[in-house]
Amino acid sequence: MHVVVMGCGRVGSRLSRQLEHLGHSVAVIDHDSNSFRRLGEEFSGITVTGEGFDQETLAAAGIERADAFAAVSSGDNSNIISARVARELFGVRVVVARIYDPKRAEVYERLGIPTVATVPWTSARLLETLLGDAASEQWRDGEVVLLRVSAHDGWAGRRLADLETATGARAAYVTRFGTNRLPTPSMAIQAGDVLFLLATDDLVKGVQAAVHAAPEGGLG
């Protein structure tokens, strides 16, 4: 998918790198071209200098083919205006805005624009909102990440160990009917389970691909 990120501060740059690492194409908009240095030399996406609510700037970022738009600059007004332009003028399907004022956030939520407050997990929450629940990062220590996974319904009835074998990840715990459970060797995945898997960076794409599709073969 193609994602346009407006704002290249600490959250925007981290979000953009994470999206690109997951295999998505990314365009980053910021009014200060110096801010793109936060992306690092390995970032290969598009960078556009300008305002996120300017139509020409958005067009240069590929907004017309964008699947998602995240407004994460340091200004509430810029974020919400940009988010509304992306959704209402360009018809972007998934739009999210970072809002500092919680009272404003409530108003924009009623307008149908998901908002994210400035909390420690801002970038992870943005990823989850943009990409869905398939495999979102909840915690990280170096190259080790904890992924929150909602597996394809085709995994129901398969052993949790089968998913570990397919992905190389390790199950940390399972949330079932609102209760956290430690995995056992024979535990089977049930529909509606939320799985928390430990993986390294090189395994994340494989986990993403595996949980999006039903497993091959019959029940194990």
Judged by DSSP in three states, 122 sits in helix
Q: What are 32-40's contacts with CB under 8 Å, separation 24+?
A: 32/8, 35/8, 35/9, 36/8, 38/8, 38/9, 38/10, 38/13, 39/8, 39/13
**How far, in Å, are 122, 124, 193 from residue 81 at the CA level?**
20, 23, 37
- Please give the Cα distance from 215 to 150 (Å, whole number): 14
Q: Tell me the pLDDT tens digit for each residue of 85-128.
A: 999 999 998 898 888 776 666 666 666 676 665 543 456 556 66
CA 29, distance to chain mean position in Å, is 18
The per-residue pLDDT for 99 is 80
Q: Tell me the pLDDT tens digit for each residue of 125-173.
A: 566 667 655 567 777 777 888 988 888 888 989 999 999 999 999 999 9
Q: Where are the domains of the chain?
A: 2-131, 135-212
**How far, in Å, are 135, 142, 205, 207, 220 from residue 212 at the CA level?**
9, 25, 11, 9, 19
Q: What is the pTM of this model?
A: 0.56
- Is 135-212 the same fold as 2-131? no
CA 137, distance to chain mean position in Å, is 8
CATH number, domain 2-131, options 1.10.10.60, 3.40.50.2000, 3.40.50.620, 3.40.50.720: 3.40.50.720
CATH topology (fold) of 135-212? Alpha-Beta Plaits (3.30.70)
Computed over every residue of the chain, the mean pLDDT equals 85
The per-residue pLDDT for 214 is 86
Best-predicted range by mean pLDDT (16-20, 134-138, 215-219): 16-20
